[in-house]
Chains A and B, each alone.
Chain A
Amino acid sequence: MNRSDLKGWLSLAVALAVAAALPAAMEGDYALTIAILSMTYAALALSLDLTVGHAGQFSVAHAAFYGLGAYASGIATTMLDVPVPLGFALAVAVSGISGAVLSYQVSRLKGHYLALASVAFLVLFQQLLVALAPVTGGRNGLAGIPVPSIAGVTFDSPRKYYYLTLAMLAVTVVVVKSLVGSRYGRAWHAMQVSEVGAMACGIDVARSKMLVFAISAGLAGVAGATYAHFVTFISPESFDLHLSVSLLIMIVLGGLRSLPGVMVASVALTVTQQLLPASGGAQIGLYGLVIVLAVVLLPGGLASLAERTCLVRGVERALGGWRWRAVGTSDKCEPSGE
């Protein structure tokens, strides 16, 4: 492990400690609920960034993998009386395997075919939730999902559930960060830059795509189970195309492949969304504007903004470690080695 790696992990540990101390400063369940949702979406956005950012595979199926996890654990724990931890494991398995199956054949094709497949997958998922009403509850949703109780602790209040969600987010961050730095992460990065180039280096592109899809879907599954056992009621609307688009906004706005950028953008967007009154049309239009502006004016996301203003780099250096920028971008603020 080199020095910058160590700094990255250290700053993550500091962030975790701050996050763990945060509930003490929060009053009321409302603020805690928003915090829990923010962390859930941050975890989702990070796992989506694996496929979209790191591996360069466009997908809108993420809401479906999230929903699959939520429903898998929800159905298993309510109808089959499976213990909650096992429900979480089931969520990972169901979502991960679905991800692998979806990408199995399609990943052999070049171009953004996967984008089309992911659309079909999401629509079909929504349709099946309604069609299989005896199991899923249909449009009325699935109610009475049990609150998890692990090792004698029952997570029955937002204050307690906050820590369970934080643990889930921490696991996601660790998995994403370790994978990105591993040989798999480098293979994905090579693939994202040039598929032909990656093949020439001996990377099995189809297998790499399948792997990244399976892992990203599995992580979305855990996030889904965490969400389901928190709200105890799930319905198809929580897992629609609009959610996938929100997640895409989070990663584009944060900066593809930038872990802190994506997390900051997810939290900012979730909080805004929760605080602004939901007025249907206007919100959709606002999202559209944000997407277009982000793509046109800030294609590197918030991460590149931080890079542009070298002031932030200075602050960053002072704080020691957060790599607030996308992999592979030049850093004009860093003193050169000459």
Chain B
Amino acid sequence: MDRLAPILASGLELGSIYALTALAVHLLFQGTGLINFAQGHFVMLGTMVYWTFAVALQWNVVAAALAAVIVVAVVAWLSFVVALRPARNAQMLMLIIATIGIAYIIQTAAQFIWGPQPKAVPSPLGDVALSVGGATVDPQTVLVVIGAAAALAAVYLYFTRTLGGLAMLASAQSPKGGMVIGVQSQSTALTLWVLAGAMSAFAGVLASPITGARFDSGLGFTLFAFAAAVLGGMGSAVGVVVGGVVIGLLQAVIAGYWSSTYRETFVFGAFLVVLILRPWGLLTAKGDERA
């Protein structure tokens, strides 16, 4: 029991970050059919920019987090305008390949700007452990889980309660139908892309005290987000979020009770088994698979 609580806490912490990134992948895929290999690189960029403002420039934590989200959103917008919009008439396949190019460019730029050394980011709540019901919990864990939950709630409200969000859902279901009511599918794609970038940046801000800021961490975030998205079923937003949490917990339990060497082997093994046995995801009914 003494070991279980911190293991579950760290699993939940990682899981919240995967859930947020996976939801970004899911929204873009549902809305445009595009699979973004650079999604994790936006997370990495979030950790880097947050480090710059919060640690190097000693800004207030909230201001630094906001700045990180805005800067990454601008980079996302720029990458869309430069690399994806001009190729909008190309096959989806070419656009997926283009996102790999974007990922590579972001990674190299980060390496040149911030250098190859990983950077430590202190938690805004300090590192004095909290005591919850006899178990000790890192305060950053609480912050990450609450932060991720708030972001997920905000995204949910945006897509169910605001005109902009509903219009986007409509356009995602039928681009032509959306056009009839005045929604341009191109601007929907851009909005989704930037929104997904901003969500990833926020995930990066939350993750930075745990993972630090490293230029080569992007691919890892992308891979775990993909695993989470598939595990939960790409067709369901709730499924994707649950998938993220499950992957985080699975990783923490394997690392805590067995060995951190085989952690990825099991996560991706589970990912592949689910893909082969239940390719529509654990939480999506069979008929719901994304057509």
Contact = CB atoms under 8 A, between A and B. Distances in A.
Nearest to B101: A291
Given A101-B276, A127-B264, A248 B97 contact: yes
Contact of A295 (B94, B262, B268, B269): B94
Among B223, B262, B272, B277, residue most surrounded by chain A Cβ atoms (within 10 Å): B272
B197 to A, nearest CB: 16
B104 A284 contact: yes
Interface in B256-271: 261-262, 264-265, 268-269, 271
- The B interface is mostly helix, strand or loop, or mixed, namely helix
B98 A291 contact: yes
Contacts of B223: 119, 123
Given A105-B277, A112-B96, A288-B103, A124 B269 contact: yes
Among B103, B269, B275, residue most surrounded by chain A Cβ atoms (within 10 Å): B275
Interface residues of B, number: 52
A248 B229 CA distance: 24
A183 interface: no
Nearest to A288: B104
A322 interface: no
Contacts of A289: 101, 105
A12 interface: no
A123 B264 contact: yes
Among B109, B112, B268, residue most surrounded by chain A Cβ atoms (within 10 Å): B268
Nearest to B278: A105
Interface string A257-299: 0000000000000000000000001101101111110011001
Given A111-B291, A124-B268, A292-B105, A281 B112 contact: yes
Contacts of A252: 94, 97
B80 to A, nearest CB: 12
A115 interface: yes
B187 interface: no
B280 A109 contact: yes
B227 interface: yes
B67 interface: no
Interface in B200-215: none
Nearest to B274: A120
B43 interface: no
Interface string B102-127: 11111111011000100000000000
B226 A120 contact: yes
A296 B105 CA distance: 15
Interface string B231-269: 000100000000000000000000000000110110011
Interface of B: 29, 33, 35, 82-83, 86-87, 90-98, 100-109, 111-112, 116, 219, 223, 226-227, 229-230, 234, 261-262, 264-265, 268-269, 271-272, 275-277, 279-280, 289-291
